[in-house]
């Protein structure tokens, strides 16, 4: 083993764990897409904090954006599944209020999930 061999081996032993960290840690989302039955999707940044009121099929849905995550906090539906979904922050995660026909999805560099099935 020459000195170059050892340097290379060491570089690989350091570089590969770094690559695992880079590739396998889920990227935080950067934007939030709000989709409604009517009209084009609205894209909002996940910073700074804000609350958005969206008119849906039944009434208004209120979405809160806080510290890079987002959730429904109120919706004009009966079962409130969208609110119980809680905070979403990973790129690709989504929450939907089907009765009110409003859904939100976190957008990022690359999506953590392609699709989520319940």
Partner 1 sequence: MQIQTTREDHRIAWLAALAIAIHVLEAALPSPLPGVKPGLANVITIVVLVQFGWRMAAWVSLLRVLCGSLLLGTLLSPTFFLSLGGALASLAVLALAARLPGRGFGPVGYSLLAAQAHMLGQFLIAWQLFIPHPGLWTLLPLLLTAALLFGLLSGIIARMMLQGVTREPA
Q: What is the binding site for partner 1 (CB under 8 A)?
A: 1-5, 8-9, 12-13, 16, 19-20, 23-24, 110-111, 114
Smallest distance, partner 1 to C-beta of residue 27, A? 11
3-state DSSP of 19-68 = HHHHHHCCCECCEEEEEECCCCCEEEECCCCEEEEEECCCCEEEEEEECC
Smallest distance, partner 1 to C-beta of residue 21, A? 9
Q: How many CB atoms lie within 10 A of CB 8?
A: 12
SS3 at position 74: strand
- The rounded distance, in Å, linking the Cα atoms of 84 and 34 is 18
Pick the closer one to partner 1 by CB: 53 or 109. 109
Pick the closer one to partner 1 by CB: 56 or 92. 92
Pick the closer one to partner 1 by CB: 99 or 108. 108
Smallest distance, partner 1 to C-beta of residue 8, A? 5
Smallest distance, partner 1 to C-beta of residue 3, A? 7
Pick the closer one to partner 1 by CB: 19 or 73. 19
Q: How many CB atoms lie within 10 A of CB 1?
A: 7
């Amino acid at each position: 083993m020459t000195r170059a061999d050892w340097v290379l081996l060491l570089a690989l032993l350091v570089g590969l764990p770094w690559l695992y960290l880079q590739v396998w840690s889920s990227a935080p989302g950067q934007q939030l897409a709000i989709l409604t039955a009517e009209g084009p999707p609205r894209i909002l940044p996940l910073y700074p904090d804000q609350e958005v009121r969206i008119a849906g099929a039944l009434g208004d849905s209120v979405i809160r954006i806080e510290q890079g995550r987002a959730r429904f906090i109120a919706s004009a539906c009966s079962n409130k599944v969208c609110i119980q979904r809680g905070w979403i922050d990973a790129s690709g995660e989504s929450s939907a209020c089907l009765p009110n026909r409003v859904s939100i999805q976190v957008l990022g560099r690359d999506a953590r999930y392609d699709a989520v099935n319940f």
